[in-house]
Homo-oligomer: A and B are copies of this chain.
Amino acid sequence: MTLVVSKYGGSSLADARRITRIATRLAGLRRDGDDVVVVVSAMGKTTDSLIALARQITAEPEAREMDVLLSTGEIVSSTLMAMALKALGVPSISLTGAQAGIRTNSMYSRARIETIDPSRIRRELAAGKVVVVAGFQGLTAEDDVTTLGRGGSDTTAVALAAALGAGRAEIFTDVEGVYTADPRIEPKARPLREIGYEEMLELASQGARVMHPRAVEVGQLYDLPILVASSFGTGPGTLIRKETTMEAQNKARGIAHDTDVAKITVLGVPDHPGIAARLFEPLAEAGISVDTIVQNSSLQGLTDLSFTVARNDLARARTIVEPISKEIDAGGLEHDAHLGKVSVVGTGMLSAPGYAARMFRTLYEADVNIDMITTSEIRITCIISEDRVADAVRALHSAFQLDQP
């Protein structure tokens, strides 16, 4: 008997017909004798509607209340899926994150799973039921509801698959898998058959919104393969798993991009130890994710320090950084709200000769100005103007021959 742990996203559950369609597929698995655990997201645009509702009440809804509010979206779809299965004659039960034994820290809106007690799920599976788990949520030690951040249902599925000892987690979504670039921007983009965790992390965190990065991290931590496939199509999908160096080494695997980038530059920062901590610790405490950090060349003991945040966080980040920049006698503060990011991703790529040069030349020939550059072992990233991102993606996809298998 195989244990299948799968997750379906909101667009696969957008209405009663789609829910019943997924339920029919799950019923087939159950009849074949598999144990089935399914993690569901909120239906269609539910989460957006709930956020809009909260914003009608107040411009700054409190994070704890927001988490309780948003968690209801996944609970609703879990009950509907359980009903649909039952209507097909398949015993089933819905479980909230709390009932599924998922305990998190108390970082509201981006909580991390700390422990999973799968005993209730095991009990229901043993009773022959398909177990439908509301994704995206957990409970703190104080019994308060948390959410895992956007896309957190992926994390729920991968963490449950690990806790239950499943062979892999299956993430069904509205795309055919992980693409060499965003196919909405580059029509020649192809789905990859396999990709390593690290490469996937770079693609995901750089803006290829197929999967939640934390889900990939959890998969990597437990060495649990994750299949990403379409819930509508019939393609094989992409298997995310430990790098198989033979195939993946020294090869550009995909182009990632992000159009939601804002930059803050602190000018003329005295080049002392501890300055960076004074700047970034308060941002972290405020829950603002800092992405790229670049410190420009030092000049007479002074340096310019730039970092990027999501556009949404720009105003808050400036409010936090402004007084600190004065305390440390910096020369001033600049910001740019309209930036984007484009990355070439591939294991071992940076150490191979010519990749960085080819990227910069391609952007130059496409008339794209580079604002910042950062690199990692498996990624070269350029911060560019937001309105040049699509052209840059297409130029790089072609230059790195990603349109060819």
Contacts and interface: CB of A to CB of B under 8 A. Distances in A.
Interface of A: 15-16, 19-20, 50, 53-54, 56-62, 64-66, 68-69, 71-72, 75-76, 78-80, 82-84, 86-87, 93-94, 96, 98-99, 143-145
Copies in the complex: 2
A378 to B, nearest CB: 41
A87 B57 contact: yes
A83 B63 CA distance: 10
B61 A83 contact: yes
Contact of A80 (B54, B59, B96): B54
A128 to B, nearest CB: 15
Given A62-B86, A82-B62, A19 B57 contact: yes
A59 B19 CA distance: 15
Contacts of A56: 15-16
Contacts of A87: 57-60
A94 B58 CA distance: 15
6 contacts: A58-B83, A62-B82, A62-B86, A65-B79, A65-B83, A71-B75
Given A16-B53, A53-B16, A79 B58 contact: no
Contacts of A86: 58, 62, 65
A292 to B, nearest CB: 33
Contacts of A66: 79, 83
A359 to B, nearest CB: 46
Given A20-B57, A57-B20, A86-B58, A76 B69 contact: yes
Contacts of A65: 79-80, 82-83, 86, 93-94
Nearest to A59: B87
Contacts of A69: 75-76, 79-80
Given A16-B57, A62-B86, A72-B76, 9 more contacts: A15-B56, A16-B56, A19-B57, A53-B76, A54-B79, A62-B83, A68-B78, A69-B76, A72-B75
B68 A50 contact: no
A80 B53 contact: yes
Contacts of A58: 83-84, 86-87
Nearest to A23: B57
Contacts of A80: 53-54, 57, 65, 69
Contacts of A143: 98-99
Contacts of A16: 53, 56-57
Nearest to A68: B79
A99 B144 CA distance: 8
A212 to B, nearest CB: 23
A398 B143 CA distance: 55
Contacts of A64: 93
Contacts of A78: 68
A303 to B, nearest CB: 41
Contacts of A76: 50, 53, 69, 72
Contact of A68 (B15, B57, B68, B75): B75
A87 B57 CA distance: 8
Contacts of A20: 57
A60 B59 CA distance: 40
Nearest to A73: B72
Nearest to A84: B57
Contacts of A15: 56
Which among A58, A62, A65 has the highest number of chain B CB atoms within 10 Å? Answer: A65
A54 B75 contact: no
Which among A71, A72, A79, A93 has the highest number of chain B CB atoms within 10 Å? Answer: A79
A10 to B, nearest CB: 15
A61 B56 CA distance: 32
A62 B96 CA distance: 16
A65 B130 CA distance: 13
